[in-house]
Amino acid sequence: MVKLFARYVSVGALNTAIHWVVFSALYASHFSQSIANLVAFCIAVTFSFYANAKWTFKAEATTTRYLLFVLFMGMMALAVGWGADRLHILPIFTLVFFSAISLICGFIYTKLVIFRERK
């Protein structure tokens, strides 16, 4: 389990870099935090899904799994961005909070739902 989580964290670091760069570019272009976070997430999550399927979980990357992953994580991204907009939170705090929550919740959801081992 530790090795699996370490691989997930490695992919997550790259995913986070992608997310932060895209979010920053969109927010600097006057998009709201909720939209910037959602778009940045969608781009980064595609990388994350395929990298985790192949390298972390060694599982088949199906369309159904991809859609379930994107919907769950996308709703979380939108919710965090929406809350940040409503509370007038600085964008850096939005990014840090979303990165932390998506790492933990994403790993649990991915392991238990998306790439669960069939018995």
Letter for the amino acid at 58? K
Instruction: Give the number of residues written for the chain.
Output: 119
Letter for the amino acid at 112? L
∠ CA 55-58-59, nearest 5°, is 125
Share of the chain above pLDDT 90, in %: 64
pLDDT in tens, 76-101: 988 998 999 899 999 889 888 988 99
Measured CA to CA in angstroms, residue 28 lies from 14, 77, 91 at distances of: 21, 18, 10
pTM for the predicted model, two decimal places: 0.80
